[in-house]
Amino acid sequence: MDVNLEKEMGLVEAVLFLDSEPLTVESIARIAELSEDVIEQCLDGLKEKYSQESSGVELSKITGGWTLTPKKEFWEVLKERYGNKNAGRLSRSAMEVLSIIAYKQPITRAEIEAIRGVPPDNMIRILQERQLVKEVGRKDAPGRPCQFGTTKEFLKFFNLNSIAELPALDEKESERFELAR
């Protein structure tokens, strides 16, 4: 970290602190009126700063943008009070449907039902209301059924940069998902 960039790093930190949405390097550069190269250097400096044990926050890449988040070890203690208020807890059924959609998207209602053995209609409605899933297209099949996938809100809710960061399914879970296909 260039010593001459301490002020710029402070400015980038303030931008990230004030903005509630993850910001791309380009957005931060525009807001802070600095070059993208300087922003990259500042982000590296902030990552190093927040890696200290005395820091309660970390720099996280979520949905392709940078944001300040509580360190995971502290979030367990804090999420009850500061968690996403409108999200509330998802029922076991809603989590099951959400995980099926996340791992098998794009997927239709009938395909979800084949995996679960229960119609998913009510759970899909709840997940759509919470903006965790959305219609992403139509399957090229008789009746052209709707296909569902996850949203940017889903990634934010689970603190993921992309779907690729989902944990791998174990062999038994993978088999269960495949048998229904």
Type and span of the H or E element at 96: helix 92-104
* 39-65 pLDDT tens trace: 999 999 999 999 998 999 999 888 889
Which is nearest to 62 in space by CA: 167, 165, 168, 132? 165
Q: How far is CA 5 from CA 49, 52, 108, 160, 173, in A?
A: 13, 19, 51, 29, 49
* Tokens found for residue 100: 């099926």
Q: What domains sit in the chain, N to C, each tagged with a CATH number?
A: 3-81 (1.10.10.10), 92-179 (1.10.10.10)
pTM: 0.62
User: Is the sign of the CA dihedral 22, 25, 26, 28 positive or negative?
Assistant: positive
Give 66-107 pLDDT, tens digit per residue. 998 888 888 778 777 776 544 567 778 888 999 999 999 999
